Every structure is written in C-alpha cells, then in structure tokens.
Chains A and B, each alone.
Chain A
C-alpha cells in the first residue's frame, strides 16, 4: 500500500478478528514507531507488547475505552527522567510530540500491512502499570489495540483544510 493511500484510508478499528498476529508483524510496528522524530534524539519511549490471551483479558478489564477483542495490545510508555542519550533534562512538550509521532508511524504501518488498530486513552494507568510490573520511571501514555479488522471501511472524513490553515500571516486569505 502506498503511503498516501495508507494515510487517507486508515481508520480506528472497533471489531477485531481473533486470529493471532505473527510476531514479525508486531515487530514491524515497533520498527516503524522508533523511526519517528524524537527531540535531541532522546528515544525516551518503551513499548510493551501483550499477546497472551489471559493477559489481554486482564488488560481489557482495566481499559474501559477498549471496544472489541484485539489479538494484541501495545502499551506506549515514556521513560521519564533525564534524556537517556545526553543525561539532560527532558522537555515535556517535545517528549509528547515524540510519542505522538511514534504512534502515527505505528498506526500507518499497521494499516499498510493489513492490520487494524485503535489507540485507547481510557484505561487505568496505575492499574496497568501494576499489572504489567512497570518500573516507576515508565509512564504509560496509551494503549494501541491491534488485530485484523472486521469493520467495513468507513467513508473518509471530508475536511476543508482552509478552516485549519493560514498562509504567510494570520488574516491573509
């Protein structure tokens, strides 16, 4: 799938098939995520992949925002503290931009290899951190549910970019 097509046709999945996802495919998603830009080359992210059906069931019970039964879940975390590469303090805004870019890379890659995804923000962070035995400096940011989609493709959103764009300076048409 071409990048342009992937960007235009990606949608969040609600219903997932139960088929297991090959480990190589899941690794591809992380490979895509870590190629996102990251301020000061901090690479201050960590990705937890969960495929064990019992663990998925438990995570589901901690994640009210999760609809359906995905075959895998990826927990996106930020490693807090100093920049692991330079030892300098991290700038929160840049850290959030980095994890957001990694997320988008992951979603687009998943779509391009035929996997559906759904980012989930509604889950109990502390509960998930305890359940997955996360170190204290791992801050859970969001969960991405992954699986083959059962959804019908929805009509792409029609968006007028003029409403969200200005050229050269504000007030110019």
Chain B
C-alpha cells in the first residue's frame, strides 16, 4: 500500500471510531447531541476530503460553515443547518 493510501486508511479508521462511538453515545446522551455528532462527522469527512485534495470552493464553503458550528456553538442551530442543506440542494441542481 502506498504511503498516501496508508494515510487515508488511518483517517478512515479514525472516522470509523468516531461514528461508532457516537452511535453508542446516542443511547444515553441528550437527544440534542445527535445533530452535533452528525455535523461533526460531516466536518471530519470534509477534512479528510480536503487533505486528499478533493475539496473545491463549494465543499470548502460548506466546511467553513460546518466548522463554525463545530467550534463555536454548544449545540446545532436548526436554521444554520437548514441553510447548509439549502446550499447543498442548490449545488445538486448545478451538478445536473
């Protein structure tokens, strides 16, 4: 396996651990943590994608918004999440 692939594999393993432990946490933790964990997972996925050189302006702009939620908000704001999804939906039309 190349070094690059090995690095990517390591990052995927880290993300896997985060996803599984988050899933387990949902049994006992407050309901409001669920959106936070999923948004965090999206941010981690975009980090991996950026490290692999795959992010474009669109993905970077989503990542920036997500990072504001991850690092500056104790909980996920429903309206901000709505706006991210709206941006995502608009991008789907552009891809067609």
Closest to B43 in A: A67
Choice from A15, A57, A68, A123 contacting B21 with Cβ under 8 Å: A123
Q: A122-B29, A124-B24 are in contact. Are A61 and B70 (CB under 8 A)?
A: no
* Pair B70/A67 contact, Cβ less than 8 Å: yes
* Pair A61/B14 contact, Cβ less than 8 Å: yes
B13 surroundings in chain A (CB, below 8 A):
61
Q: Is B25 an interface residue (CB 8 A)?
A: yes
Q: Is A64 an interface residue (CB 8 A)?
A: yes
* Number of residues on chain A facing chain B (CB within 8 A): 16
Interface of B is mostly: helix
Q: Is B58 an interface residue (CB 8 A)?
A: no
Interface of A is mostly: loop
Bound state CA distance, A166 and B61, in angstroms? 51
Query: Which residues of chain A from 105 to 153 have any CB-CB distance to chain B below 8 Å in the complex?
Result: 122-124, 127
* Pair A14/B25 contact, Cβ less than 8 Å: no
Bound state CA distance, A123 and B40, in angstroms? 14
Choice from A61, A62, A68 contacting B71 with Cβ under 8 Å: A68
Bound state CA distance, A122 and B24, in angstroms? 10
A65 surroundings in chain B (CB, below 8 A):
25
Query: Which residues of chain B from 1 to 34 have any CB-CB distance to chain A below 8 Å in the complex?
Result: 10, 13-18, 21-22, 24-25, 29, 33
* Pair A64/B72 contact, Cβ less than 8 Å: no
Closest to A63 in B: B21
Give chain A's interface residues, CB within 8 Å of chain B. Answer: 14-15, 57-58, 60-65, 67-68, 122-124, 127
20 contacts between A and B (CB under 8 A): A14-B71, A15-B71, A57-B10, A58-B17, A60-B14, A61-B15, A61-B16, A61-B18, A61-B21, A62-B17, A62-B21, A63-B21, A64-B21, A67-B40, A67-B71, A68-B71, A122-B25, A122-B29, A122-B33, A127-B21
